[in-house]
Amino acid sequence: MQNKIDHFAIGANDLTQGVDYLKEQLGVTLSLGSKHDLMSTHNRVMQSGNESFLELIAIDPDAPDPGRTRWFTLDDPKTQAKLVTRPRALCWVVNTDDLDTLVANSPIDLGEIVTFTRGDRSWRLTVPKNGDLLENALLPAFIEWSPGPHPSTAQQDLGVQLASVNLSHPEPAKLQSMLEALQVAHLASVSEGASALSFSLNTPQGLVVVD
């Protein structure tokens, strides 16, 4: 089974706020993205190296109620209160070539597998039904794309690359064990501390950490 970083999500109260924040922090302006009709969210994206991408995501104010809990805790009042202040690291997503086997063998409930489509592309993603993030976002969601080029190949390369996914946990050995069980321990660094997720990025302005 091949598992690698697919993309990482930064949440914003609205996309304009997020674009402005990332322009200040990273020195780049994200290009237009797309809408997720099933979740009533929309995004902006850019390449982040090695067939991965950065996703800036927010609730789409023009979309109808999705009739379900949105992903990445975007409906959670605590998340919404944080995002009003500034954009935040929300989630990391791992690309796998055998999602069914991974979910079936996981010792952790990864949620349901939801199929998404846009144009001629489709993908399947693990989504907890309650919209929560696993282990306070320290464990990733998993994605499997339909055959074809990775979507990042069609995105702008603005000179930003993901250097590392950083995970802090009060019991780092426990978290490390969970990562190993999911076969993703090689994709993130773990340290001791309060539960926290951040992304280290090599940017035109140097190394930047978004938390």
* Burial degree of 156 (CB within 10 A; 0-12, 13-18, 19+): middle
What's the CA gap between 34 and 75, in Å, rounded? Answer: 19
Query: Cβ-count burial of 87 within 10 angstroms (0-12 exposed, 13-18 middle, 19+ buried)?
Result: buried
Q: What is the pLDDT of residue 2?
A: 86
Residues in Cβ contact with 209 at an 8 Å cutoff, skipping those fewer than 6 apart: 166, 198, 199, 200, 201
Share of the chain above pLDDT 90, in %: 82
Is the domain spanning 3-154 CATH 3.30.70.1150? The answer is no
Specify the pLDDT at position 1.
Answer: 66
pLDDT at 129 over 90: no
Phi, psi angle pair for 59, to nearest 5°: -65, 135
- Mean of the per-residue pLDDT values for the chain? 93
pLDDT of residue 132: 87
pLDDT of residue 135: 94
With bands split at pLDDT 50, 70 and 90, how would you rate the model's confidence at 25? Answer: very high
Residues 6+ apart with CB under 8 A from 67: none
In three-state secondary structure terms, 208 is strand
Sequence ranges of the domains in the chain: 3-154
Measured CA distances, 88 to 36, 56, 80, 123, 197 (Å) = 20, 10, 10, 25, 9
